[in-house]
Amino acid sequence: MHEVPKLDEAAIAARVRQELSAQRFQHVEGVVKTAAELAARHGADVAKARLAAWLHDIAREWPAERLAEYARRMSVPDEFGDDPLLWHGPVAAALASAWFGVEDADVANAIRYHTTGRAGMSTLEMVVFLADAIEPGREYPGVDHLRALAETDLLRAVAEAIDATISYLIATHRNIVPLTVVARNDLWQKVQQRPRRT
């Protein structure tokens, strides 16, 4: 496990702003705020949560050709499928290392899997995944329920968020990568194995 390098958050934000539209940057700011709040509430490292949140979408608006070229060079694993939209997570994790020297595995995984999820997500990974789904700029049916649930039950909130993602992908006839299905099953298994609350 590597220490999170002492990075100037303002410098990171400035570089992220260069890569994104104003609207996407506003989303990232919302994810940073939400991730920090969730991390503090659920026992994750707040500095790592903020760092992963700042960097999670750094490649999100790259042209498809640039994203595909970078993904080829870094050999994006097959588990991310052939949808370039899903490549921005692993590409962003690689850029976090290349551009900012981020080598912390938990931060890298939080960035890498923020769109797909995966089995065995750490608390930090769940925080960033959920923050991306519920930040203040997000508006979709059920988001307020997820925000309320996130206050008290991170695991169940992430499980319900991934169900909502899968439902959306089914409704819009999009591919669902196995990573996401396995993540969903793993999350619900953990929810169901917990002692019942009284």
**What confidence tens digit (pLDDT) does each residue in 127-176 have?**
999 999 999 999 999 999 999 999 999 999 999 999 999 999 999 999 99
CA angle 147, 151, 156 (to 5 degrees): 75
Q: Is 5's pLDDT higher than 60?
A: no
**What confidence tens digit (pLDDT) does each residue in 49-63 have?**
999 999 999 999 999
Joined tokens for residue 106: 């938990």
Which segment of 76-85, 101-110, 134-143 scores lowest on mean pLDDT? 76-85
Q: CB-based contacts of 118: which residues, under 8 Å, 6+ apart?
A: 109, 125, 179, 182, 183
Which segment of 41-45, 108-112, 122-126, 192-196 scores lowest on mean pLDDT? 192-196
Q: Is 7's pLDDT higher than 80?
A: no
pTM above 0.85, yes or no: yes
Joined tokens for residue 135: 């930040």
Q: Is 198's pLDDT higher than 70?
A: no
pLDDT at residue 76 in the model: 84
pLDDT at residue 85 in the model: 85
Largest CA distance in the chain: 53
In 10 A of CB 170, how many CB atoms? 10
What are the C-alpha distances in Å from 12 to residues 73, 74, 160, 195? 24, 22, 31, 41
